[in-house]
Structure 1
Amino acid sequence: MADRIEQLLHRRTDLSTFLVHLTKDTENHTARDNLLSIAESRTIEARSPFGLAKQHDQLLHRTRATQRVVCFSETPLEHTWMMVRDIHGRQESFTKYGLVFTKAICRRQGCNPVWYLDISVGHDWLSNPVNRQVDRAIAESTVEGTVDSRRLALQDILRLTPFMEKMGNPNGQRKEFSWEREWRHFGDFSFKSVENVVALLAPEDDHSALRDDLSYSWKRRGIPLIDPDWGLERMISVLSGVSAV
């Protein structure tokens, strides 16, 4: 009998069955505060625009073609520690706080992998035709010198650009984060139940206090708390409910 692709993929240690969303410190709240807010509202807000048309965010962020997304990483859990390091050239800075979802749940919600376009010197940049399509969409949506946001939102290219990013080393400035295996979701990402979350991420020394600060539904669920710095075996033990003592 032929193997099913699902059976094969479960044995691929370089691929993850999970997607991780890491929180970060914002102007008025810590990453911990933001994690607790997400846990309470069961919604991750899409606050920042990404992709090849992010510069047009103000025209689109209140439309169905918003360039504001929620970001996830397909990095295997045991390598999540890499995501919270201080990395040279990285624009975003994340902490050890976050949420873990199954990839299956995220796909049902409309999450999609990011398409990385190589802009290394000497290559025929695939980002150039995309940029031309964006410029054409804006021109076709401009009436008497003003861009009609509703008309622009109907342009197919603006539904694709949030899922496109550049990678490479143009002009000596390295932009290479395809290793994060990023996935994105158009607009806010909501989950119906605490049962939809595999685990919460947090520094080990805050696990006890964080659990106390979670609402009753999370405590009743007995949500696993994982430190990104842990090794795989300890993560497995916690996820399976085995006592560390």
Structure 2
Amino acid sequence: MKKMSTDYPSHWTDMSNYLVHFAKGNGRAHKTFSSTITATRAADPGYWTMMSVLSTGRLRPGGAFGIGRKEAPDPARQRAVCFSEIPPGEWLRLSERRRSAYGIGFSKQFISKRGGGPIWYARNGSEQNKALKKLMRMGEGDPDHPVWRITAMIDAPGVYGLTSYEYEWEREWRHIGDLMFEPKDVAFLFIPEELHAQARAFFSYTYHENLGPAYFCPFIDAKWPKARVDEELLKEPLASQPPLPSYDEYFEMVDLGNGRRISKRISRLRRTSDG
């Protein structure tokens, strides 16, 4: 198979060589990479979802998508993982829409090799849309009809009564079904800048203690402008894994109520250098 050519020049600011996926969140609080996190998941800007994704190496579909999501005989075949090819420097709008500060980025080549691709648009009421609806009627009740192999990759933007469906700005790609990956497949992670050093210490500890996957790819803050993103992505990869991080340990008094107090030892990973 001929290699997909998607390495656009850096001055083509309207194009992207990457596909991004933000973890589901509600945007109400920040989390830290620590074994002592106590904040509730109800106030999560995507941290817990992202940690689940990274620990399992799996992105699961958020639901059924496309023009056949309600009509398909087997809705499970319409379930897809969604990505965006919004170019670097414009990722904040997607972060804000997803109410998430955490996410993952892949190269287009990786997603393409796994069978993913850009979705198609057949506007509501157009001749193309009418033709697709006719094909879906022909495949009604037959889950193996060829039309159901493409419907998850087609959206129908337009006006529907008093509402409208307009999401072309997301420049969406989809992958049907679960997407499995390894740390080496990840181009970068979205993490708030103030947590980058702590995240590096966390993954260093995970690596040295063999506790699970460890990610040493670039970390990107969705708020960064394109120049800052490019700077980070151009850095040389680690020649070797980082050293085992050290800890900050201290004791803290905890009030148990009814006049009872205990001394609790707190152990936190010490941040590694951002250099």
- Compute the TM-score of the two structures, normalised by the length of structure 1: 0.76
1:224 to 186, 211, 218: 218
1:195 corresponds in structure 2 to 184
Higher strand share: 2
CA contact (8 A) 1:81 1:229 kept: yes
Unpaired runs of at least 5, structure 2: 27-40, 237-272
Question: Which has the greater radius of gyration?
Answer: 2
1:109 matched to 2:109: no
Tell me the matched-pair count. Answer: 213
CA offset digits 1:179-231 (Å, max 9, x no partner)? 2110001100111x211111000222333444444442765x52211111011
1:14 corresponds in structure 2 to 14
* Distance in structure 2 (CA, Å) of the matches to 1:135 and 1:19: 33
* Distance in structure 2 (CA, Å) of the matches to 1:199 and 1:177: 25
Q: 1:244 to 1:125 in 2, by over 3 A?
A: farther
Paired letter, 1:127: N
* Distance in structure 2 (CA, Å) of the matches to 1:227 and 1:40: 20
* Structure 1 position 33, deviation (Å): 1.1
1:233 matched to 2:227: yes
1:136 to 127, 138, 144: 138
Unpaired runs of at least 5, structure 1: 87-92, 142-151
* Distance in structure 1 (CA, Å) of the matches to 2:158 and 2:61: 26
1:39 corresponds in structure 2 to 54
CA contact (8 A) 1:45 1:187 kept: yes
Paired letter, 1:18: Y
* Distance in structure 2 (CA, Å) of the matches to 1:200 and 1:34: 13
CA contact (8 A) 2:135 2:147 kept: yes
* Distance in structure 2 (CA, Å) of the matches to 1:8 and 1:210: 29
* Distance in structure 2 (CA, Å) of the matches to 1:124 and 1:59: 26
* Pairing of 1:60-209 with structure 2 (within 5 A): 60-61=75-76, 66-86=77-97, 93-119=98-124, 124-138=126-140, 141=141, 152-191=142-181, 193-209=182-198
Worse overlay, 172-181 or 106-115: 172-181
Structure with the greater relative contact order (CA < 8 A, sep ≥ 6): 1 or 2? 1
Paired letter, 1:40: S
Higher helix share: 1
Aligned-partner SS, 2:48? helix
Paired letter, 2:69: K
1:59 to 74, 77, 83: 74
CA RMSD for the aligned pairs? 2.7
Q: 1:85 to 1:125 in 2, by over 3 A?
A: farther
Aligned-partner SS, 1:174? strand
Could you tell me the percent identity over the aligned residues?
25
Q: 1:244 to 1:237 in 2, by over 3 A?
A: farther
CA contact (8 A) 1:207 1:225 kept: yes
1:50 corresponds in structure 2 to 65
* Distance in structure 1 (CA, Å) of the matches to 2:147 and 2:73: 16
CA offset digits 1:162-184 (Å, max 9, x no partner)? 00111123434222111211000
